[in-house]
Amino acid sequence: VPNWPDPAVLAAVERQLAGFPPLVFAGEARSLERALGRVALGEGFLLQGGDCAESFSEESANNVSANNIRDFLRVILQMAVVLTYAAALPVVKVGRIAGQFAKPRTAPTEKRNGEELPSYRGDIINGVEFTADARRADPARQIEAYRHSAATLNLLRAFVHGGYANLANVRQWTLGFVKDSSQSHHYEELADRISEALGFMQACGLDLESHPELKSTDFYTSHEALLLGYEQAMTREDSTRPGTFCCTSAHMLWIGDRTRQPDHAHVEFCRGIINPLGLKCGPSSKVDELLRLIDILNPENRPGRLTLIVRLGSDKAADQLPALVRAIKREGKTVVWSCDPMHGNTITSETGYKTRPFDRILSEVKTFFAVHRAEGTHGGGVHLEMTGQNVAECTGGARMITDADFKDRYHTVCDPRLNAEQSIDLAFLLADLLKAERMAKVRPLPAVAGL
């Protein structure tokens, strides 16, 4: 809990939030649960990604501007097309966006040049600038976070339902600085095949205008349920199903690796809402505790209710993941298995920047899907910290980003993100894994007499 300077001001802000319109509706959250239910049953794939921490500061390169939102959506749409084509499965698109303003921190304070101040905990709590005034927790920032979330959601809805996500625009989603990348020609080939397929459908007399799934897409929002006062203020009773409650700050919320204790407030809050939930599972996750959490958060064992977001690290995944998968399979628990290859692979570069090597990210992804293939379970998704911007924060990738690139292109306010090109690189590499898995499931047709 932040050290709020004036409890009366905090209470007034929370009352104001409780009277604001919902950002999302319970029916949308239930639609997401149904989509994730298909993923849990092996009939879909979850693509979840976005900024480590959003910012509403005008000075920040990560602020929620129209251009940043559009560029992020373009990358997500490109990745989804690549994955859909390879896996022959619907891709559920969920953004870490329109609400990812709070961040957990390891230490409550930060020291620079002998001066010690409270740690930056996300724009919804305090400012990133290293000054006493900026680092003071300010309840009014929650109102600002709500307004920026509302504006972001409004633009996202306009993009995905207003024609921008039309599959006929598949070529227009490529960002300018990605067009000369190593994967650009692969994407162009894929776009050619999609365009040919659409042309074939039209030639067969199918009216593409009568198929809304080709003209728009479903896109959902998510963030960590960290600042519980804000989340509780945004919780509303579902008028269509009295007695049930939806947190209307996002379609999906997740519980972080630091706040997943079964008897603590974050788990208690999340078990009482109908939103689909994520649960981060780090190296400290134990089988018994995880099974207990699943029983608390999804006592009815509903497909799509709970996503396990595994963040073990490339050096630990092969040793720790199989035991978790086997135990949950043995107990008959229905969950979405998602791989977070970011958080367990953070290192400090020689120049002092936090970074994540692309080869380690890819290694954990490969291990995750190899384990599920070996255990006969469905590796159902990925959870990425990423951006549509041309940043340099994670080393490696097709352009081999190094420490030398950080000086001018390192813009994150918290943790390093994949840039647009690295995100699409990862999508194609992941597509190869999914295609191989799909082809392995294909069985030869029985011989027909006389042929």
Residue 1, in any domain of the structure: no
pLDDT at 318 over 90: yes
Q: Tell me: the pLDDT tens digits for 40-80? A: 999 999 999 999 999 987 666 667 789 999 999 999 999 99
285 or 193, higher pLDDT: 285
Contact yes or no for 72/117 (Cβ under 8 A): no
User: Look-up: residue for tokens 């996750």?
Assistant: 285
Number of structural domains the chain divides into: 1
pLDDT value at residue 163:
85
Rg (CA), the chain: 22
pLDDT at 91 over 90: yes
pLDDT at 255 over 70: yes
177 pLDDT tier (thresholds 50, 70, 90): low
Domain that holds residue 195: 7-439
pLDDT value at residue 442:
65
* DSSP 8-state symbol, 6: -
Whole-angstrom Cα distance, residue 314 to residue 331?
26
Residue 63, in any domain of the structure: yes
User: Look-up: residue for tokens 């380690």?
Assistant: 360
Long-range pairs for 33-38: beta carbons < 8 A, 24 or more residues apart:
33/274, 33/276, 33/302, 33/304, 33/305, 34/304, 35/90, 35/92, 35/218, 35/304, 36/92, 36/276, 36/303, 36/304, 36/305, 36/307, 36/336, 37/302, 37/303, 37/304, 38/90, 38/303, 38/304
180 pLDDT tier (thresholds 50, 70, 90): low
Q: What beta strand segments (E) does 106-249 contain?
A: 109-112, 115-118, 219-224, 235-237, 245-247
What average pLDDT does this structure show over 83-97? 94
Residue 445, in any domain of the structure: no
172 pLDDT tier (thresholds 50, 70, 90): confident
Residue 170, in any domain of the structure: yes
pLDDT value at residue 181:
66
pLDDT value at residue 65:
87
Q: Which of 275, 226, 229, 241 is nearest to 23 (CA)?
A: 275
Contact yes or no for 437/365 (Cβ under 8 A): no
Q: Which of 250, 273, 303, 236 is nearest to 94 (CA)?
A: 250
Whole-angstrom Cα distance, residue 264 to residue 254?
14
Whole-angstrom Cα distance, residue 125 to residue 128?
10
| Burial of residue 294, with CB atoms counted within 10 A of its CB: 0-12 exposed, 13-18 middle, 19 or more buried | buried
pLDDT value at residue 192:
80
Whole-angstrom Cα distance, residue 214 to residue 206?
12
Whole-angstrom Cα distance, residue 367 to residue 362?
9
Q: Which has the minimum average pLDDT: 87-91, 163-167, 181-185, 204-208?
A: 181-185
Q: Tell me: the pLDDT tens digits for 10-48? A: 999 999 999 999 999 999 999 999 999 999 999 999 999
What average pLDDT does this structure show over 380-391? 96
pLDDT at 447 over 60: no
Give the CATH number, domain containing residue 237: 3.20.20.70
Letter string b/e over residues 17-29, b meaning 16 or more CB atoms within 10 A of that residue's CB: beeeeebbbbebb
Whole-angstrom Cα distance, residue 102 to residue 227?
7
Whole-angstrom Cα distance, residue 117 to residue 136?
9
441 or 73, higher pLDDT: 73
Contact yes or no for 309/340 (Cβ under 8 A): yes
Q: What is the DSSP string of 195-212?
A: HHHHHHHHHTT--GGG-H
Q: Tell me: the pLDDT tens digits for 333-346? A: 999 999 999 999 99
Residue 2, in any domain of the structure: no
pLDDT value at residue 187:
73
Residue 448, in any domain of the structure: no
Residue 236, in any domain of the structure: yes
Residue 174, in any domain of the structure: yes
Q: Which of 436, 446, 355 is nearest to 88 (CA)?
A: 436
Q: Tell me: the pLDDT tens digits for 114-134? A: 999 999 999 999 999 999 999
Q: Which has the minimum average pLDDT: 218-222, 277-281, 409-413?
A: 409-413
449 pLDDT tier (thresholds 50, 70, 90): very low
310 or 166, higher pLDDT: 310
193 pLDDT tier (thresholds 50, 70, 90): confident
pLDDT at 269 over 90: yes
203 pLDDT tier (thresholds 50, 70, 90): confident
Q: Which residues is 354 bridged to in the sheet? A: 348
What average pLDDT does this structure show over 424-429? 92
pLDDT at 363 over 90: yes
pLDDT value at residue 356:
97
Contact yes or no for 345/413 (Cβ under 8 A): no
Q: What proportion of the chain, given as a percentage, has pLDDT over 70?
A: 92
The 10 Å Cβ neighbour count of residue 361 is: 27
77 or 206, higher pLDDT: 77
